[in-house]
Structure 1
Amino acid sequence: MRNFLLAAAVAAAAASPAAAQPATPPKLIVAISVDQLSSDLFEAYRPHLTGGLKRLADGGVTFVNGYQSHAATETCPGHSTLLTGRHPAATGIIANNWTDQGAARADKSIYCAEDERVAGSTSSTYTVSPEHLRVSTLGDRLKAADPRSRNVAVAGKDRAAVMMGGRALDQRWYWDGKAWASDVRQAAELPGIAQFKASWAARFAQAVEPLDPPALCQARATPFQITPAMTIGNGRFGRAAGDNRGFRASPELDDVTLTLAALVTAQMKLGKGPATDVLSIGLSATDYVGHSYGWGGQEMCLQLLSLDQSLGRFLGWLDTQAVDYAVVLSADHGGQDAVERLRAAGNLKAVRADPGLAAGEMGKLLAPQVGRPAPVLFGDGVGGDVWLDRAISAADRPKVLAAAVARYKAHPQVETVFTAAELSATPLPSGDPRGWSLISRVRAAFDPSRSGDFYVVLKEHVSTVAKPGPGYAASHGTPWDYDRRVPVIFMAKGLKPATPATSADTVDILPTLASWVGLPLAPGSVDGSCRTEAAHCR
């Protein structure tokens, strides 16, 4: 593993006999998201972990049946739940991108972490902003309760840093595809940032040799040809100098993210002030690796073992800082392996989605049927939210909607379709997410002002990657449990380790942490519940 941290060895995690509550309110809460870490993936590798993931799993309260309970299992919606205690229906973050036909620009696709009001902004070239997040994060709430609290976010993706950090940020840093960047005005003034950027630029300008896989990973190195020009399964993460894609889809991204998080923590003296501070860390490489290679091959094996060691060094470094810190770790969503690997293992239900399911393609077929010129439908991808063309008259909309829903429902890869009217009439779900119906899962991410006119649910094991290519062999984004089920781990001094059989929801994280630090929550201000397995809930 390439060690980019100036970190000490990991200190032993002492199992405390104390009750389920930190001994004292922690002065620093470290909230970690491992993008696309499904519980299936976590459990498959847990016996082989020796570093930070093992320390957290063995030394904390570990819910393997945690859930991103909603249907919109994408990066932005998932991160919006982690530190807000709210489902996407309340956060307003219904997807990574949604369609707003009233947007005052030619590009009607809205990126979740942009401010489209900025002149020249598009969904792909945008100004990073928390504008679309409608609720407060833990860091926002703590700063409102005590302005001396510091709120910092560092991530491999801007949307992870935005959705975990919120609005009241002291520092926010993320990899923007070319450099480490920030949308917080005072961020560049932090001592050490210029030196970090210079060191990083020098490192990035050098080629990286492939990793040497251990036997565990070599056993998974079976190649699968996805396209004539694309083979996955036996990669080792070597990269050329300046290779952006090679960097982000490799263990190197998480290692550097943790390095930057350590730098900001040290220079701001997080956890050493008069109030509790929050450090949010978005570790994005597992998602990029999962998309690029799936999770059953040598690449994901190398990624998780490397992440485990990088996280172990980071926690060991925190141990040396004389800071009373606590950790919560979860994920924004899970994921499904590459279809080709699943089918080779006997899962013949695993198929790639028909490209014709894309809203634009379906809209072209539908237009003549309803006597209209294209376009008739708008949407992003092959499932999820679909919008009717706003130019359709009020009198014609019911006919067009019925025809569109019928066409989608008739497709053999579609499980069902829910209209906005059906979702609006469905109560917001609560309770154990394992028992939620499909419509409840979709309802938890339905916002009538942003969501589509109807929502398409693909059948289980239908991959949302219809046309694979470099960087996209596998994906997520469905309401099925392989995309919803994620670990939720709480670790703090004085917290008794446990592995509850009960389920947890990611919206339970905020109320549980609030109990740790004595932060009052107004009734009805969160969707989740404080977990008695990890806190003395009030």
Structure 2
Amino acid sequence: MSFIKKTTAIICCIFTVVTFTNNVFSQTETQTQPKTDTNSNQHPIDSRPKLVIGIVVDQMRYDYLYRFYNQYSENGFKRLLNDGFSCENTHYNYTPTNTAPGHASIFTGTTPTNHGIINNNWYSRAENRIFYCTEDKNVQGLGTGNPEDKNGKMSPRNLKTSTITDELRLATNQKAKVIGISIKDRSAILPAGHIPNGAYWHDASSGKMISSTYYFDKLPEWVNDFNDKKLPDTYIKKGWELLLPLASYTASLPDENNYEAMPTKDKKATFPYFIDKYDGAKKYRQFPYTALANSFLKDFAQEAILKEELGKDKITDFLTLSFSATDYVGHRYGIYSVEVQDTYLRLDRELAAFFEFLDTTIGEGEYTLFLTADHAGAPTPSHLHDLQFDADYFEWDSMKVELNTFLEENYGKGEFVTYLSDQDVFLNRELIIQKKISLEEIQQKTRDFLLTQKGISQAITSTELSKQIQRTGFMQLVQNGFNPKLSPDVAFLFQSGYMDSYYKKGGTAHGTPYTYDTQVPLLFFGKNISKGNTHRRVEITDIAATLASLLHLQQPSGCIGNPIIEIFE
């Protein structure tokens, strides 16, 4: 073959390889990018849904989707699973896994390190007291009867980064309407962000839905009208009975067992639950511990959509809706109880009714929603112990005394331990300075002591977290939940199966980095959402990033998540 022919053949081969490679990369890129509207004349904002609904089911474990699947209706959870997109391997990427940081992380797209909601409560060094996540002394309650009632003195001021709901309001010159609703104040306030049209929560003293002067000077008339109906009284009088015959329940434990807390001194943890015999605030305090509270919240959400005219114009609105009764029931009765199963079967029916309401009011295919949880829930240690697991309870008070005694043996007399609870140790900084003790050294001594205690698996000091980046394992989750200004001197982790001694009387808790607390459902449904699922790992901080892409918004200010591109049509 001549030189020219050989050269031509080589060039042809190179061109063929380059063309094939480019095609492969082009196809791969096309498969991994969100699909775009083929109508070039349509502005991307025009593809936004009329309404976005962010549903959080407090303490919902991932396996509840499938453990109770056969008894779900066709139009509740099954509708989301069959016609929406399910992220089957969704986890929290920090600890502690509790309600306030969970709701904040979902809607900010970041972890407590950045958004500053490090727990439901934490010890404030500046004020030398326990601090509540949404407390605000500068506002007054609305609807409480007493404006100074602490149940109403709440706001989002402690949240340090923006939310996806904030970004929607900012992008539309605050023309988009944002409403936050829950039984719990923190679960309504934190998702709604800093500049919503309102946030509403249940007052355990009166049974009413209330708010604060952070949002407006007085409650909207429609809220007063709703409260005048006294729907909690109607539900309370009706009572909580089983939805199905007891024999059809598949819960691991019988209705009466040794692992549930007693609802009251004179009532066994068995169906039915009638709380109408209690007077005044006591019945309203018991109300969230029944599945009926979810029905009440759904009623209020539908009223909010109608009266606030959400989804009625071309500007996308946002409703955040957090069902709290699932958490109350889980805490009291445990994850394998008949009470938990009945709560989810009833919630499934309420969701089906709510989706039908949205189809009629907003229009089928005109809204987008997601459903997830703020954390999951652990098995009850006494139950695990009886099954021969290594599981037990912690006594905070005795451990605090023992730790302080240990530190006194090393540094002399004094109250060195200011606060010990919830896997946190706060040391007395003033005393440490007064005695001229190295903070790093006493933190290390504290850590070393904790690691000698049964049921504590790991411990780390704030100095270590500040100096060294934890890149793997559970310590990475601790660091993602660590805020240098607010967090404890030493953080420690329970061994799997261990829990606060408060739950010795029955029920369960959460808050650890173990998968029984971190793995939650994540379902997307509605406009611009494809059908299907993914089993790749998704983190809770990806939700806000996904919504930002879906709505063509700037991501929240502290967002560290990535869009879940598989969900896009």
Length-normalised TM-score, structure 1: 0.86
Partners of 2:318 and 2:501 in 1: how far apart?
Answer: 36
Gaps of 5+ in 1: 1-18, 430-435
User: 1:527 Cα deviation (Å)?
Assistant: 0.7
Give 2:248's aligned residue.
Answer: 216
Cα–Cα, structure 1 residues 491 and 20, in superposed 2: closer, same or farther, change >3 Å?
farther
Q: Do 2:169 and 2:196's aligned partners in 1 also have CA atoms closer than 8 Å? A: no
* Cα drift, residue 231 of structure 1: 8.5
Give deviations 1:23-62, integer Å, cap 9, x for gaps: 8321211000000001133332233321422211222111
For structure 1, which segment, 524-533 or 163-172, has the greater mean C-alpha deviation from structure 2 after superposition? 524-533
Show the counterpart of 1:281: 321
SS of residue paired to 2:88: strand
Residue 216 (structure 2) aligns with: 186
Residue 225 of structure 1 is matched in structure 2 by 258
Separation in 2, partners of 1:387, 1:119: 31
1:463 is paired with a residue whose SS is strand
Aligned 8 A contact 1:148 1:274 in 2: no
Equivalent position to 2:167, from 141, 154, 172: 141
Matched, 1:521 2:555: yes
Structure 2 equivalent of residue 8 of structure 1: none
Aligned to 1:477: 511
Q: Deviations over 1:218-277 (max 9, x none)?
A: 764342235796997644433225512321011111111111111011111111123211
After superposition, the Cα gap between the structure-2 partners of 1:274 and 1:428, relative to the gap in structure 1 and judged at 3 Å, is farther
Distance 1:510 1:28, change over 3 A: same
Partner Cα separation in structure 1 for residue 482 and residue 384 of structure 2 = 31
Secondary structure class of the residue paired with 2:534: coil
Q: Secondary structure at the match of 1:130?
A: coil
Once the 2 structures are TM-superposed, how far is the Cα of residue 374 of structure 1 from its aligned partner? 4.8
Residue equivalent to 2:82: 58
SS, match of residue 36 in structure 1: coil
The aligned amino acid for 2:177 is R
Q: Residue 237 and residue 504 in structure 1: after superposition, are their counterparts in 2 closer, same or farther (change >3 A)?
A: farther
Corresponding residue number in structure 2 for 1:132: 158
Counterpart CA distance in 2 for 1:233 and 1:262 is 32
SS at match of 1:186: coil
> Does structure 1 conserve the Cα–Cα contact (< 8 Å) formed by 2:182 and 2:323?
yes
**Contact 1:35 1:287 survives alignment (8 Å):** yes
Indicate the residue corresponding to 1:111 in structure 2.
Answer: 132
Change in Cα spacing, 1:231 to 1:209, as seen in structure 2 (3 Å) is: closer
- Taking structure 2 as the reference length, what is the TM-score of the superposition? 0.82
Shift of residue 369 of structure 1?
A: 1.9
SS of equivalent to 1:167: coil
Aligned residue runs from structure 1 range 251-270, under 5 A: 251-270=291-310
| Equivalent residue for 2:338, pick from 273, 289, 298 | 298
C-alpha distance in 2 between matches for 1:512 and 1:138: 10
Sort the Cα spacing of 1:236 and 1:442 in 2 relative to 1 into closer, same or farther, 3 A.
Answer: farther
| Partner residue in 1 for 2:500 | 464
2:347 is matched with 307
Q: Which residue of 2 aligns with 1:502?
A: 536
Specify whether residues 424 and 305 from structure 1 end up closer, same or farther in structure 2 by C-alpha distance, changes over 3 A only.
same
Report the Cα offset of residue 176 of structure 1: 2.9
Distance 1:230 1:505 in 2: 43
CA RMSD of aligned residues (A): 2.9
The gaps in structure 2 that reach 5 residues or longer are 1-32, 38-46, 142-146
Closer/same/farther in 2, CA of residues 464 and 232 from structure 1, 3 Å limit: farther
Instruction: Determine if the alignment matches structure 1 residue 69 to structure 2 residue 117.
Output: no
Tell me, in whole angstroms, the C-alpha distance in 1 between the residues paired with 2:334 and 2:532: 30
SS where residue 567 of structure 2 aligns?
A: coil
Q: State yes or no: 1:43 paired with 2:70.
A: no
The offset of 1:114, in angstroms, is 0.9
CA distance 1:196–1:118, shift in 2 (3 Å): closer
Give the number of the structure whose alpha-carbon radius of gyration is greater. Answer: 2
Worse-superposed segment, 173-182 or 455-464: 173-182
Q: How many pairs were matched up?
A: 503
Which of 172, 181, 204 is matched with 1:154 structurally?
Answer: 181
In structure 1, the residue corresponding to 2:332 is in which secondary structure? helix
1:167 to 191, 194, 205: 194
Residue of structure 1 in register with 2:17 after alignment: none
Pair 1:493–1:347, CA change in 2 (3 A): farther
For 1:123 and 1:405, how far apart are their aligned partners in 2? 40
Q: In the superposition, relative to structure 1, how do residues 285 and 362 fare at CA in structure 2: closer, same or farther (>3 Å)?
A: farther
Instruction: Assess, with a 3 A threshold, how the Cα gap between structure 1 residues 410 and 248 changes in structure 2: closer, same or farther.
Output: same
Do 1:234 and 1:297's aligned partners in 2 also have CA atoms closer than 8 Å? no
Going from structure 1 to structure 2, the CA distance change for 1:398 and 1:88 (only over 3 Å counts) comes to closer
- 1:457-491 CA-partner distances (Å, limit 9, x unpaired): 1101112344534xx62100111110011111111
| Alignment pair present for 1:405 and 2:482 | no
Q: Does the Cα contact within 8 Å between 1:370 and 1:400 map onto a contact in 2?
A: no
Q: For residues 238 and 356 of structure 2, what CA distance do their matches in structure 1 show? A: 26
1:400-435, Cα deviation, whole Å (9 max, x unpaired): 323321211100110010111221234376xxxxxx
Q: Which residue of 2 aligns with 1:16?
A: none
- Is 1:452 paired with 2:488? yes
Query: What secondary structure is seen at the aligned counterpart in 2 of 1:281?
Result: strand
Q: Does 1:335 align with 2:361?
A: no
Change (3 A) 1:357 1:258: farther
Q: 1:530 to 1:22 in 2, by over 3 A?
A: same
- Go from structure 1 to structure 2 and tell me whether the alpha carbon gap of 1:278 and 1:503 turns closer, same or farther (over 3 Å shift): same
Instruction: Using the TM superposition, give the Cα deviation of residue 279 of structure 1 relative to its aligned residue in structure 2, in angstroms.
Output: 0.3
Q: Which residue of 2 aligns with 1:9?
A: none
Q: Does residue 1:390 correspond to 2:417, yes or no?
A: no
Q: Distance in 1 between matches of 2:148 and 2:379?
A: 31
Deviation at 1:83, TM superposition (A): 1.2
In 1, Cα distance between equivalents of 2:502 and 2:175: 49
Q: 1: distance between equivalents of 2:162 and 2:223? A: 28
CA distance in structure 2 between the partners assigned to 1:498 and 1:233 by the alignment: 40
